[in-house]
Structure 1
Amino acid sequence: MEDVVLNVEKRSLVGKKAKRLQAEKKIPGVFYMGSENVALQADEVPVRKLAGSHTTHVIKVKFQDGTERRAVLNEVQYDPVVGHILHFDLHGIREGEKVTLQIPVQLVGTAKGIKDGGILQHSIHRIRIQCDPDNVPEHAMVDVSELGISDSVHIKDLKMEGVKILDNLESAIVTVVPPPTIKEETPETAALAATEQPAEPEVIGKTKKTEEEPEAGQPEEKGKKKAD
């Protein structure tokens, strides 16, 4: 895989002053290598392409003075409201040193469990690896074609020559989960639900009529004497 070239300039504006670069369509960044760190800036478009790429690249960083360094894109900070890139970090690669980075996971095929009503659940989208800078895979490819319902592909199932995987090998990358079950109402369950209906509540304060209490508006029975 060929290196991707990124032209950069050393940056004099630091801290809050670096926000002025937005008006010039520039993005501030930092190049790190051991104890060395260089404040730099780059055009917005190539940085955005690198950050949004679905493949991993080793970057050939070209400074304005002609100096060239190899690096990987280590971190990108985004504006939480509008999504613009605010800052990026480049991790320099020393000669003969292995590089640690994350590569994207790419799914291929259609899981057969989906045809049976299953749902494809993609849980891990990037894998952290360590390898030689000249042997960086563009992505980790996962074929899901043979996955039935409740089947999974784990990180330990990945086959990448010359690459050390640093994440938990038992973690599931993708799983075909069973479809949700909906209980159908049967005559038996309907009858049971009817018997479980709550009784009509009793009205508090309403008293039963007694034989001694005449209905309102009715005369008293003849022959009964009024009490003295």
Structure 2
Amino acid sequence: MAQNEITLQPRTQSGKNGCRQLRAQGLIPGVVYGKGIESTSVTLHPKELGAALSGQSGQNTLLTIKGCGSLDGSLVIVTDLLKDPIKRNVKHVDFHKLDMADKIRVHVPVKLVGTAIGVKEGGMLDFPTHSLDIECLPGQIPESIEVDITDLTIGHSIHVSDLKLTQGVKVLLDGRASIVSILGKAKEDAPAAE
């Protein structure tokens, strides 16, 4: 579980025009919300956000707020990043204030480990599920879910139900869903010489 700090400032400007003005000043508008608190409009610097989310956990990094009055010291996670479709710069960010005793839902990448036997035999790797939605406590968020494919042969798959997860981590997908498969035909024995 990765953890960083992020400096937020309270935001007085609201609405589309206020957000446009902030972006013109090189700032990102955002909001902090959560159970038991009133939603708070905030601003932050793009470099600050980039540095806070630069680790392997990316958007799943737990962030401790610096500044911003009553939110100072609160633990949050990024729940939504609105990006410009062309420039790819962040236009708005939503933070969810966490309670370490309440489970949350996050999106985690799947990481394949090893080289499958089936690929060495000429099969083709089919990897349709690159990430999974999981539910767990904030302190249990994995950086990725590793799937060992070393023993996978042609015509076989690894499904959600086959995953070995730490206790308390639940995948929010049907257990029959395929994570990775090896496609192709198994080599046939050469016909006996006549």
Query: TM-score band (shorter)?
Result: 0.7 to 0.9
Residues 28 and 91 in structure 2, CA contact (< 8 A), matched pair in contact too: yes
Aligned length: 179
Residues 100 and 137 in structure 2, CA contact (< 8 A), matched pair in contact too: no
Residue in 1 that maps onto 2:106? 101
Give matches, 1:104-123, under 5 Å.
104-123=109-128
- After the TM superposition, which of the residue ranges 39-48 and 83-92 deviates more from structure 2? 39-48
Residue in 2 that maps onto 1:41? 43
Deviations 1:124-146 (A, max 9, x none): 22222222222222211111222
Higher gyration radius (CA) = 1
Residues 6 and 62 in structure 1, CA contact (< 8 A), matched pair in contact too: yes
Inter-partner Cα distance in structure 2 for 1:86 and 1:51: 16
Give matches, 1:1-228, under 5 Å.
1-17=1-17, 18-34=19-35, 36-48=38-50, 54-55=56-57, 56-65=60-69, 67-161=72-166, 162-178=168-184
Residues 155 and 184 in structure 2, CA contact (< 8 A), matched pair in contact too: yes
For 1:9, the aligned partner's letter is: Q
Mind listing any 5+ residue stretches in structure 1 that lack a counterpart?
A: 180-228
Structure 1 residues 2 and 79 mapped into 2: Cα distance closer, same or farther (>3 Å)? closer
Q: CA deviation at 1:65?
A: 3.2
Deviations 1:49-102 (A, max 9, x none): 556654232222223437121122211122112222221211111252222222
- After the TM superposition, which of the residue ranges 57-66 and 30-39 deviates more from structure 2? 57-66
Residues 75 and 90 in structure 1, CA contact (< 8 A), matched pair in contact too: yes
Inter-partner Cα distance in structure 2 for 1:109 and 1:23: 47
Q: CA deviation at 1:178?
A: 2.1
Deviations 1:154-180 (A, max 9, x none): 11122222212222222111222228x
For 2:97, the aligned partner's letter is: G
Tell me, what secondary structure is at the counterpart of 1:167? Answer: coil
Inter-partner Cα distance in structure 1 for 2:16 and 2:177: 40
Residues 154 and 169 in structure 1, CA contact (< 8 A), matched pair in contact too: yes
TM-score norm. by structure 2 comes to: 0.79
Q: CA deviation at 1:24?
A: 3.4
RMSD (CA atoms): 2.3
Q: CA deviation at 1:2?
A: 4.7
Residues 120 and 175 in structure 1, CA contact (< 8 A), matched pair in contact too: yes
Inter-partner Cα distance in structure 1 for 2:96 and 2:30: 11
Residues 48 and 85 in structure 1, CA contact (< 8 A), matched pair in contact too: no
